[in-house]
Structure 1
């Protein structure tokens, strides 16, 4: 019996900072199956100055970057679905339609663990929030049915204490700080809401190798010029809230997405 992990996100680089470490940690497990769903091709993304792309070609380029990134991480998805909705407009897609598309893939794969965005979308991005809400809805429908899978629903988050530490480091380095009241800016959640802390230090170099494949978006993913050592420290941990099941009787925080399943 395989252990199936499904990640549902909006854009081709959303998972690069969230779940690449967990995938790398389980890359060589014979019973590990990895499912990845992208709601869009990311065609509305900001194009790095001097990069050979146009709005008409960016979606295809970002899809190829995503595929190259997972090769660099060392574990490509066993199933990779591109739903093809317009980037930046997921909130305009009827929720039952998007929920249904996600439901279809998850129902076929019966993942043990599903990971997506929480209500904050990490950066307040409407696409992140929308895909997270629709994934939650699909999971809730499927978790009610008898049978295998759907044991845990995770929301990727950033602990407030870590966010505050990073903000101070950015001030010390004379880098722009984030404004959590603004869209596209990072934000934290109270530390007591963090139920999963994954130590990714042993695979941090692989996570960074994957991030570096997103060349069209690297200027918005990392401070320029890219400091790979600092980037490795940033991606050395992954955090999540357990959205389901209730955590009242669990020993927290967990250290792996499959722990106690």
Structure 2
């Protein structure tokens, strides 16, 4: 049997909504596909907009429920969904070996063919993103071997620099604030040549947006206009990844999905 197990390790509820939701939707009806999702935190330090019925004490459980509802709305719930319960905003303060062990325990039990997490940029430079990404990379390195069907690819979600610049130009034209990649919590791009996987998600963009809409507590953070479905679907037409392992030749053709080229 083909190993079509995908493990996604992220920091907060809604990181996954943008990270791999399109790829998961594309494989939703594949009988071989298995989806493992790991969240480091409940996102309890997220923003609480005026009038939203949440408190600092309840936001974490609300965001957890929203994330689970999002996958139901998309139409493909994780086969295994783990919440590590680490402190939001404090993942980088957890002893690194403890963080690696927490991720490795789950990955070892599941033996995924592909693992997706954050790269060193964290996409937004968020310390939680960077810490859980580094721990996942280390867990992958400790577990992979030349034998067996698991741990064939380690991928990092990313935004190509040219796409980042186009989005920033569009934001400026609309009078919105622009991202400053030198600042923490601001989006940043990576050189286009580092992108090794580009997934065409147009046919499932509406399903991805349906999932995003379930993150009701954070809609004001996730989009400048949550009512603009067309804009959201346009932004979700592609997902991009670098390949952290194995090393891929610079002139190798672009891959088209997370399992492309694997046995």
Taking structure 1 as the reference length, the TM-score comes to: 0.98
Name segments (4+ residues, structure 1) moved above 6 Å. Answer: none
Check whether the contact 1:196–1:252 (CA below 8 A) recurs between aligned residues.
no
Correspondence list, 1:61-80, <5 A: 61-80=62-81
Check whether the contact 1:170–1:176 (CA below 8 A) recurs between aligned residues.
yes
Check whether the contact 1:12–1:38 (CA below 8 A) recurs between aligned residues.
yes
Partner-residue secondary structure (3-state), 2:17:
coil
- Displacement after TM superposition at 1:48 (Å): 2.2
- Displacement after TM superposition at 1:175 (Å): 1.5
Q: Does 1:35 align with 2:74?
A: no
Partner-residue secondary structure (3-state), 2:19:
coil
How far apart, CA to CA, are the structure 1 residues paired with 2:154 and 2:145?
13
Check whether the contact 2:195–2:241 (CA below 8 A) recurs between aligned residues.
yes
Partner-residue secondary structure (3-state), 1:124:
coil
How far apart, CA to CA, are the structure 2 residues paired with 1:225 and 1:85?
29
- Displacement after TM superposition at 1:148 (Å): 2.4
Match of 2:16 in 1: 15
Match of 2:54 in 1: 53
- Displacement after TM superposition at 1:226 (Å): 3.2
Partner-residue secondary structure (3-state), 2:115:
strand
Correspondence list, 1:167-246, <5 A: 167-246=168-247
Partner-residue secondary structure (3-state), 1:50:
coil
Check whether the contact 1:167–1:177 (CA below 8 A) recurs between aligned residues.
yes
* Equivalent pairs, count: 261
How far does the alpha carbon of each residue in 1:149-173 deviate from its partner, in whole angstroms, 9 at most, with x for none? Answer: 0000000000000001111111122
List gaps (5 residues or longer) in structure 1. none
Q: Does 1:159 align with 2:177?
A: no
Match of 1:140 in 2: 141
- Displacement after TM superposition at 1:102 (Å): 0.3
Taking structure 2 as the reference length, the TM-score comes to: 0.97
List gaps (5 residues or longer) in structure 2. none
- Displacement after TM superposition at 1:249 (Å): 7.5
Check whether the contact 1:48–1:218 (CA below 8 A) recurs between aligned residues.
no
- Displacement after TM superposition at 1:251 (Å): 3.1
How far apart, CA to CA, are the structure 1 residues paired with 2:251 and 2:69?
37
Superposition CA RMSD, Å: 1.1
Residue 37 to residue 250, structure 1, CA distance change in 2 (3 Å): farther
Q: Does 1:251 align with 2:252?
A: yes
Partner-residue secondary structure (3-state), 1:37:
strand
- Displacement after TM superposition at 1:119 (Å): 0.2
How far apart, CA to CA, are the structure 2 residues paired with 1:110 and 1:250?
30
Match of 2:103 in 1: 102
